[in-house]
Amino acid sequence: MSEAQVTPQQIFDSMPQALVPEKAGSTKATIQFDLSGDQGGKWWVKIHDGQAESGHGDAPETPQLTLMADASPSRWRASSAARANNPYPDPPPGRGRDT
């Protein structure tokens, strides 16, 4: 699949397989994504027990985080392509898990 064909739905469908259980640890979180623009809509990701689920629409439970972003093709593809090579980067020293 070329980058030009990637849609938000395809990204969210692939998110559960991209989760690295060792990095997720004991994380339990539900994240709601509210995307505006031509390919906008609502999607959610739920992380629990070293696994992830994703879906279209409103999250099945109250999310701990809601992210709002522009889903116009140029913005969405640039953002998702930048993360494709490293979807779960380690935080910089002094920030995140090691503080």
Identify the architecture of domain 3-98 in CATH.
Answer: 2-Layer Sandwich (3.30)
Domain ranges of the chain: 3-98
Pick from 33-37, 73-77, 95-99: least confident = 95-99
Residue 28 Cα distances to 24, 40, 60, 77, angstroms: 9, 26, 14, 27
97 or 24, greater pLDDT: 24
Express each pLDDT in 61-96 by its tens digit: 999 999 999 887 666 555 655 555 555 556 656 655
CB atoms within 10 A of CB 98: 9
Threshold 0.85, pTM exceeds: no
